[in-house]
A and B are shown apart, each in its own frame.
Chain A
């Protein structure tokens, strides 16, 4: 199991155990966290937007050009923003810290 630390929009921290092979979006939803993921991971919305802790960003790397384009539909987008459905759970991201965007 891969462990992720997630700060939700209310500032509450959660530890999520994620199965390798899933996407981070699937892992967060499986853990019951409120991530809408409206398009089911097909890179057609920005409702799975998360912000990676700066220190961890090198481990996930920058978004692809298509992902950047979809991020244009997100809010509270940051230099370390990613769409969670585009990040694979693997040992490379064990211990990753992420947060949800602000709601208002």
Chain B
């Protein structure tokens, strides 16, 4: 079912720096496709701190992170970027001057340059470090609920202490054979109304609380979960029989497939030449938190400048026959999709 698209530049990651790169490229007449693992744009600003004010963006004495992202989207809009949300960039291949980026859907996008603006890697569920968990994901181990019917009559263990864990324990208590809620401490971080409901359902025996306990191990047979070992914070362990585990530990980032893109890495960052932001692979650039060079600072303003620096060499790679003509935005006028002169 794979489809192919073509563009000038593929941007991996729709955090603040990836979004700013749409403008930096558009300003020079280049079209972009943007791939983002989450279903929303904004990277850390949206996923981790949308309400927090940022104080170090020049020109904005204070701006909420979510508001900054809204403005970056508005600034990028005239360049008509194509977004691929909920898609991870999983593979990079090269045929002559053409780079192809494959997405988790199997579709590919061909371009003449790739800008990696992947922050700390793709955001996804924060997976408990339990042996064998990956093989059970989607069947017995879940990080979100798509279809409550799948849990009817089942024994379910829900782990975590926030709104998701508590709300799903409440919602599924009607359908499940049993619900055990496992959390590392007595206190839950959730809406007061949910806490009240949880108390009530616990008293009625519809939800069993295991606190302060944590997940310790999984036991599976033929690809199906059978039991979950939990450990008391002071060490004693016990097994709970269960068909499903729902784990709600927030989100985490992981470089994942980017490790195999062929670009030079140092730990979790991609090495670049700071004069061009190009990686060890020709026409593959890295900007924002993921890029590394001497004295690198992981800041939004630095990332913005890195994207502008990258766009210049991207232009030279895409239009090797056209001289790079420098123009201020005030000269070029209101942004619009236009071929560069």
- Residue numbers of A with Cβ under 8 A of B are 36, 38-40, 42, 44-45, 47, 68-69, 71-73, 75-79, 102-104
Is chain A's binding surface mostly helix, strand, loop or mixed?
A: loop
A44-B48, A79-B233 known; A72 and B268 CB under 8 Å? no
Shortest C-beta distance, B298 to chain A (Å), equals 6
Shortest C-beta distance, A66 to chain B (Å), equals 10
The 4 tightest CB contacts between A and B, nearest first, are A72-B161, A73-B250, A44-B48, A77-B184
CB–CB A76/B185 < 8 A = no
| Residue in B closest to A69 when the chains form the complex, CB atoms | B189
Shortest C-beta distance, A71 to chain B (Å), equals 8
Cβ of B29 under 8 Å from chain A:
no
Q: How many residues of B contact A (CB 8 A)?
A: 27
Please pick, from A36, A42, A44, A104, the residue contacting B268 in the complex, using a CB distance under 8 A: A36
Please pick, from A68, A73, A78, A79, the residue contacting B249 in the complex, using a CB distance under 8 A: A73
CA distance A42 to B65 in the complex (A): 14
CB–CB A73/B131 < 8 A = no
Chain A residues, CB < 8 A from B219: none
Please pick, from A40, A44, A76, A104, the residue contacting B298 in the complex, using a CB distance under 8 A: A40
Chain A residues, CB < 8 A from B250: 72-73
CB–CB A68/B185 < 8 A = yes
CB–CB B252/A72 < 8 A = no
Cβ of B49 under 8 Å from chain A:
yes
| Residue in A closest to B184 when the chains form the complex, CB atoms | A77
